[in-house]
Amino acid sequence: MTSNLRLGVTLYSFTPEFHSHRYDLEQLVEEVGQRGLGPGLEIVGYQSIKGFPKVSDEFADRFRGLLERNRLAPSCLGGNVDIGIRSDRMLTQEELRAAVEAQIVAARRLGFPVLRLQYSATPDLLEELLPVAEREDVRLGVEIHAPHSVAHPTIQRLRERFERLGSPYLGFVPDFGASTTGIPKVFLDGYRRRGVSEEVVATVVDAWQEARLQRKDPFQVRKRLSERVEAMGGAAYDVALAWHAFEYFGHQAPGDWLEIMPRVVHVHAKFFEIEGGVEPSVPYPDLLRVFSEGGYGGHLSSEYEGWQWDERPEGLADGLAMVEAHQRLCRGVLARLGPR
Amino acid sequence: MSFRDGMLQEEGFETDDEGFTLTIGLPRYRSLPLSCVNVQRLSLDGEECDLSTAVLHLDGRDHELRRLPDLYQEWWFVADRARLRVRRPGGIPPGEHDVELVMGLRVPYIFMEGKSECPIDVTRCRKRLRCVAGRGTAGSAGR
């Protein structure tokens, strides 16, 4: 049997193209269709839709028609669990429940079978939302993104609750950025350009690799490292480098995803750069083998994130070309896996 | 050029008798409520601007900067531009200026467990921009 994985893309990959008005939502979807970057199409609600989570009938009809015309399948709607929007206090569980419920309804209206949520959704909140998810027929997936991993206590508590509730409507969205083997060059170069010294870069890289090899708690390491880097007294972006090195690049072994495989409802195939057809920091051959052999048969969204730090004077990389290169990499790996 | 350079737009930098206006983008991948947006610092040719009476014009509405922390129901759609209006009697000389803007954006879904605060993502942008004589009103914002 060959892999049932279906490729696709999240429009998050094209954030700079959208933000700069080079493409609007419709043009991006058409570009994805024409270049064959589907069949799965994912969007971030608060990026692509003005007024989200409110979605008019007219917009929903137009959006569904646009995907159909381009032979794309809605794969996942990126939702946000914004517990901290108020300046004076965190939202109450009741306020947060209402905010997420509106996004579940939006997912159904737009035709998305999955809504991505974040760890700011507690086990209790998800249990409360389960009837809504069932009613709307939308599966909820909490993203597991660095510095979290399947073993982190916050994720463990969700896993325990999901096991107890035993519903196919509650699961996870693994982000491959949680399973990296190094800090990408595009990230480090971006911070060098912002004035971070080689000494600080080396300090962060060493601490990151040590945490990886010794399987240390990334949250603890990051806290101490940020203090250390701040004491080095350097440039404005020093602490940001230390913080984000752990925020974007995780240490979880690819095989550990097997622990939650039956609960995986969608995947973010994160990548930062492609060199010689390979993503140097994300072990794609291992990851795709784990998901394929683990029996995952859903969508795999190419998620390009290198644009965040791509500040080369000659201009940003073309996100569409990056995703094409990424999907060539994935197809190559999947073909080599062959029958199992 | 980087994604974050979109924070200071090349077009729509205008001066008049009562002050000057900049066109700014939201340096984030997604829309945010104005309560998560903090214009921390603006300098013009190395000189700090007084933002205590500055106004953000967005989507046909004016918001005093100092009121932004309360506006958790007013959203800034990520692809829309805002106009930042700084009061200064006499305006500024038209022509090129070094502009530096620092914005702090709260990330509302990330928090340290056991703590009730979210991290602030700080973006700095510095550009040499050409200022033209304008009409003095906030003018057109948005797409």
Would the CB atoms of A46 and B110 count as touching at under 8 Å? no
pLDDT at A302 over 50: yes
On whether any CB of chain A is under 8 Å from the CB of B122, the answer is yes
A17, A232, A145, A301: which is closest to B110 by C-alpha? A145
β-strand partners of A268: A175, A301
> What would the pLDDT profile of A33-49 be if each residue is shown by its tens digit?
999 999 999 999 999 99
Can you tell me the distance from the alpha carbon of A93 to that of A283, in angstroms, rounded to the nearest whole number?
38
The strand pair at B47-48 and B37-44 is best described as antiparallel
Would the CB atoms of B78 and A81 count as touching at under 8 Å? no
Can you tell me the distance from the alpha carbon of A28 to that of A304, in angstroms, rounded to the nearest whole number?
14
Neighbour tally for A201: CB within 10 Å = 18
Residues in chain A, total: 340
- Give the relative orientation of helices A198-213 and A238-248 as an angle to the nearest 10 degrees: 30
Would the CB atoms of B116 and A240 count as touching at under 8 Å? no
pLDDT at A66 over 50: yes
The percent of chain B in helix, strand and coil, each rounded to the nearest 5, is 10, 45, 45
Confidence band, pLDDT 50/70/90 cuts, at residue A1: very low
Query: Where are the domains positioned within chain A?
Result: 6-182+250-337, 185-244
Is A241 in contact with A191 (CB distance < 8 Å)? yes
Neighbour tally for A214: CB within 10 Å = 9
Confidence band, pLDDT 50/70/90 cuts, at residue B136: low
Fold for A6-182+250-337, please state it: TIM Barrel (3.20.20)
> What would the pLDDT profile of A133-156 be if each residue is shown by its tens digit?
999 999 999 999 999 999 999 999
Q: Which chain B residue's Cα is nearest to A18?
A: B79
pLDDT at B86 over 50: yes
On whether any CB of chain A is under 8 Å from the CB of B30, the answer is yes
Neighbour tally for A233: CB within 10 Å = 7
> What would the pLDDT profile of B5-49 be if each residue is shown by its tens digit?
899 999 999 999 999 999 999 999 999 999 999 999 999 999 999
Task: Please tell me the predicted confidence (pLDDT) of residue A339.
Answer: 61
Q: Which residue among A20, A46, A120 sits closest to B111, beta carbon to beta carbon?
A: A120
Confidence band, pLDDT 50/70/90 cuts, at residue B113: low
- Look at A232-236, A241-245, A286-290, A305-309 and tell me which has the smallest mean pLDDT: A232-236
Task: Please tell me the predicted confidence (pLDDT) of residue A129.
Answer: 98
Q: Which residue among A19, A236, A313 sits closest to B79, beta carbon to beta carbon?
A: A19
Q: Which of A14, A85, A219, A303 to mutate to test the interface with B (most CBs of B within 10 A)?
A: A85
On whether any CB of chain A is under 8 Å from the CB of B77, the answer is yes
pLDDT at A131 over 70: yes
The alpha-carbon gap from A51 to the nearest alpha carbon of chain B, in Å, equals 8
Element spanning A242, H or E: helix A238-248
Would the CB atoms of A85 and B72 count as touching at under 8 Å? yes
Average pLDDT, integer, range A212-220: 93
Find chain A residues with C-beta within 8 A of B77's C-beta: 50-51
pLDDT at A7 over 80: yes
Confidence band, pLDDT 50/70/90 cuts, at residue B141: very low
Q: Which residue among A24, A87, A118 sits closest to B70, beta carbon to beta carbon?
A: A87
Three-class SS of residue A90?
A: coil
Query: Where are the domains positioned within chain B?
Result: 3-129
Average pLDDT, integer, range B108-116: 77
The active-site residue out of A19, A21, A145, A152 is A145
Is B15 in contact with B94 (CB distance < 8 Å)? yes
β-strand partners of A299: A6
Can you tell me the distance from the alpha carbon of A173 to that of A259, in angstroms, rounded to the nearest whole number?
13
Average pLDDT, integer, range A159-163: 98
Is A53 in contact with A138 (CB distance < 8 Å)? no
Which of the two residues, B138 and B124, has the higher pLDDT score? B124
* Beta strand segments in A169-261, E: 170-174
Q: Which residue among A86, A118, A190 sits closest to B35, beta carbon to beta carbon?
A: A86
φ/ψ (deg, to 5) at B43: -130, 150
Can you tell me the distance from the alpha carbon of A274 to that of A202, in angstroms, rounded to the nearest whole number?
23
pLDDT at A265 over 90: yes
Task: Respond yes or no: is residue A299 known to be catalytic.
Answer: no
Confidence band, pLDDT 50/70/90 cuts, at residue A312: low
* Beta strand segments in chain A, E: 6-10, 40-44, 73-78, 114-117, 139-144, 170-174, 267-271, 299-304
pLDDT at A340 over 80: no
Can you tell me the distance from the alpha carbon of A9 to that of A25, in angstroms, rounded to the nearest whole number?
14
Would the CB atoms of A90 and B106 count as touching at under 8 Å? no
Is A268 in contact with A175 (CB distance < 8 Å)? yes
Q: Which chain A residue's Cα is nearest to B4?
A: A308
> What would the pLDDT profile of A67-96 be if each residue is shown by its tens digit?
999 999 999 999 999 999 999 999 999 999
Q: Tell whether ipTM is more than 0.90.
A: yes
On whether any CB of chain A is under 8 Å from the CB of B117, the answer is yes
Q: Which residue among B78, B108, B113 sits closest to A82, beta carbon to beta carbon?
A: B108
B115, B120, B111: which is closest to B35 by C-alpha? B120
Average pLDDT, integer, range A238-260: 96
Task: Please tell me the predicted confidence (pLDDT) of residue B134.
Answer: 86
Would the CB atoms of A315 and B35 count as touching at under 8 Å? no
Average pLDDT, integer, range A295-299: 95
Task: Please tell me the predicted confidence (pLDDT) of residue A325.
Answer: 97
Q: Which residue has the tokens 């569980």?
A: A93
The strand pair at A299-304 and A6-10 is best described as parallel
Average pLDDT, integer, range B103-124: 85
Q: Which chain B residue's Cα is nearest to A86?
A: B72
End-to-end Cα, chain B, rounded Å: 20
Q: Which chain B residue's Cα is nearest to A89?
A: B116
Neighbour tally for A69: CB within 10 Å = 11
- Look at A216-220, A235-239, A309-313, B95-99 and tell me which has the smallest mean pLDDT: A309-313
pLDDT at B135 over 80: no
pLDDT at B140 over 60: no
Confidence band, pLDDT 50/70/90 cuts, at residue B1: low
pLDDT at A314 over 70: no
Task: Please tell me the predicted confidence (pLDDT) of residue B139.
Answer: 47
Task: Please tell me the predicted confidence (pLDDT) of residue A144.
Answer: 98
Can you tell me the distance from the alpha carbon of A310 to that of A317, in angstroms, rounded to the nearest whole number?
7
